[in-house]
Amino acid sequence: MYLRDGCSLLLKPRKARIPFVLNTHPIPKPHSPGSLDESHVINTLKHDPDTTSALHHFIYLANSTPFKHTHSTYHIMIHKLANASQTDAINYLLQQMKLDGLPCSEDSFICVINAYKNAGLPDQALKLFYRVREFGCRPTVKIYNHLLDVLLCGNRFHMIGPVYNNMKGEGLEPNVFTYNVLIKALCKNGKLDAACKLLVEMSNKGCSPDAVSYTTIVSCLCKVGELERAKDLALQFGPLVSVYNALIHGVCKEGRIAEAFGLMNEMVGKGVDPNVVSYSTVISCLSDMEEVGLSLAVFGQMIRRGCSPNVHTFSSLIKGFCLGGRLGDAVGMWSLMIREGVRPNVVVYNTLVYGLCSNGNMDEAVSICDQMVEGFCRPNVTTYSTIIHGFTKSGNLQGASEMWNRMINCGWRPNVVVYTSMVAVLCQNSMFNHAYRLIDNMIADGCSPTVVTFNTFIKGLCRSGRVERAMRVLDQMEKYGCLPDIRTYNELLDGLFGANRFREACELMRELEERKVEINSVTYNTIMNGFSCLGKQEQVLQILVKMLVNGVKPDAITINIIIYAYSKLGKVRIAIQLLDKITAGKELCPDIVAHTSLLWGICNWLGIEEAILYLNKMLNRGIFPNIATWNVLVRGFFNNLGHMGPIRVLDDILGNR
């Protein structure tokens, strides 16, 4: 596949067309004035599937017939408009009610407030509330409760206190619904102590906390890790499934699966049956831990107890199979879900798509995406992002590009994950100019590139030997308001050492120190490996000392580099002692690379007899040579014993094994 320089039609974001739609529902013709009554109008408005058509009919009756709208007809119309979140039309009707001399009922006003909630307009709901008396309606506890709920859902926490005080100032006593809204607000604000005090205040005022009160606080305590406090609070309320579910979710979140089983057993012992939420929470936790066998056992117990699984249960099981690489079982669970009549949602589809992509089954992943469209479950950005990333892992530019265009045509705007995946696949195909222009497109599309985006671009440049350009990208990152992180420097250091640009690498190391960037084991390994490749083994050991002084723990790659450095310098005895100590400590498991480097050093500095002894020690430890190890030994045998020696010695070794 080839893309010409210039604007890429393949990757050009296109906005979805806005269809021009004409209303195809005719305004129903009114009945003759004599046949119009309230029940007939209510029935007509209620059963009209088109809200706009119903409103036109409502207005027509008011303006062109002798029929006078009543509280009931206004309420039906306000209810329909509220469900459609048509707040402007609702305001019009409120004004008409006032002109008709009809006071707005409590239920109608609550309906209006909830319309603002559904439309995400808490401020307008509050403004309308302060005009409640204009419409002949007095504020009640029920109206206040719904207003407080709107403010809570809109995260207007600073308004909740004054509204609550206003309610008490009017002599209205809060009920359990009021207190539950206040408790939720306090919990959302992290004021757990105040929420617990409110429980006491409720009881003192004769308003007993209910399951919602306790479940809200228990859930919040579990969320912040205060599990013991949550358990103590749960004991104050009678055994209830929602409270137990909150506790189970809390312990599962911390991976304390044994406690989750204990809580479920405790539920059963107290006569409370675990429900689908209880089982699904435990199954999800086990799936995350890749304990899919246990999750299936819990699933079986769930079925035996007559608790029907829901879409979340199946989603968790499919996730567990995918994480364990058991794709066939995941597809089997998917089939079972369909047979059981459980309709998959976008989460389940995305879980299966992720599993297929992780295993490289891209054709099947695209097929599932097609099935989503056919099954009236619209793929979302996560769906497309997962598939694009799957194509990126295999360097399939055509597949990634086709999915990109499909996403754009469906009206989805790519997010930073999608953009970064496309940058990666373009770099894999050496299309660096296109990748750079795509980053520019991100800005134009209102999606700011992150450090991960630039790291991906820099990595691609360095892997292809374009280190100079990668260094220029480092300088340009600040232009996009993006500061480099340690991975940025690691990629650049690897590229500079790989290109034998030792001086620039040292300058970058100094920049790291000046900027006081926290260096990790990857950085030290990259630097040590760079020095090693340049034959500067003494500097490798100096870097190791610095690494240890700075408290950075060596890993298996560090050991490989150090053993090779000691072997190259002829300090083989030190290398043997180091490797033996690490192997005995069992904190790290040196791989065959380290042992092969050591055998090379032994062959070159200590002789073939020592190499054979160490080879036997390796075999006794269960460390088996690979082809590279045998090549090192064969060369050592030829260098030390002549042409016939190695064959005889190898026969002896293999015969003894």
Confirm whether 118 is domain-assigned. yes
What is the spatial distance between Cα 475 and Cα 622, in angstroms, rounded to a whole number? 50
Q: Quickly tell me which residue has 């040292």 as its tokens.
A: 506
Contact 31, 40 (CB under 8 A): yes
Confirm whether 111 is domain-assigned. yes
Contact 611, 596 (CB under 8 A): no
Q: What is the CATH number of the domain that holds 62?
A: 1.25.40.10
Confirm whether 96 is domain-assigned. yes
pLDDT for the residue 100: 84
pLDDT for the residue 304: 94
Contact 597, 567 (CB under 8 A): yes
pLDDT (tens digit per residue) in 541-566 = 999 999 999 999 999 999 999 999 99
**Domain termination site, one of 154, 173, 192:** 173
Can you give the residue range of the structural domain that contains 78? 35-173
Spatial CA neighbour of 209 closest among 248, 185, 183: 183
Q: Three-class SS string for 342-397? A: CCCCHHHHHHHHHHHHHCCCHHHHHHHHHHHHHCCCCCCHHHHHHHHHHHHHCCCH
**Domain termination site, one of 137, 156, 173:** 173
Number of domains in the chain: 2
pLDDT for the residue 558: 95
Confirm whether 634 is domain-assigned. yes
Q: Cβ of 335: how many Cβ atoms within 10 Å?
A: 10
> End-to-end CA distance of the chain, in Å?
54
Residue type, 383: T
**Alpha carbon distances (Å) from 218 to 195, 212, 253, 368, 530:** 11, 10, 14, 39, 54
What is the pTM for the complete model shown?
0.72
Q: Cβ of 292: how many Cβ atoms within 10 Å?
A: 24
The DSSP-derived string for 453-477 is HHHHHHHHHHHTT-HHHHHHHHHHG
Q: Flag residues of the chain having pLDDT under 70.
A: 1-35, 641-657
What is the spatial distance between Cα 383 and Cα 377, in angstroms, rounded to a whole number? 11
**Domain termination site, one of 173, 190, 224:** 173
Confirm whether 521 is domain-assigned. no
Confirm whether 395 is domain-assigned. no
pLDDT for the residue 551: 93
What is the spatial distance between Cα 596 and Cα 594, in angstroms, rounded to a whole number? 5
Please give the angle made by the CA atoms of 139, 142 and 145, to the nearest 5 degrees.
Answer: 100
pLDDT for the residue 17: 39
Render the burial of 392-401: b for 16+ CB within 10 Å, e for the rest: bbeebbebbb
Confirm whether 304 is domain-assigned. no
Spatial CA neighbour of 422 closest among 444, 445, 442: 442
pLDDT (tens digit per residue) in 289-307 = 999 999 999 999 999 999 9
Confirm whether 168 is domain-assigned. yes
What is the spatial distance between Cα 623 and Cα 485, in angstroms, rounded to a whole number? 38
Q: For residue 233, what are its two tokens?
A: 């609070």
The DSSP-derived string for 567-590 is HHHT-HHHHHHHHHHHHHH-SS--
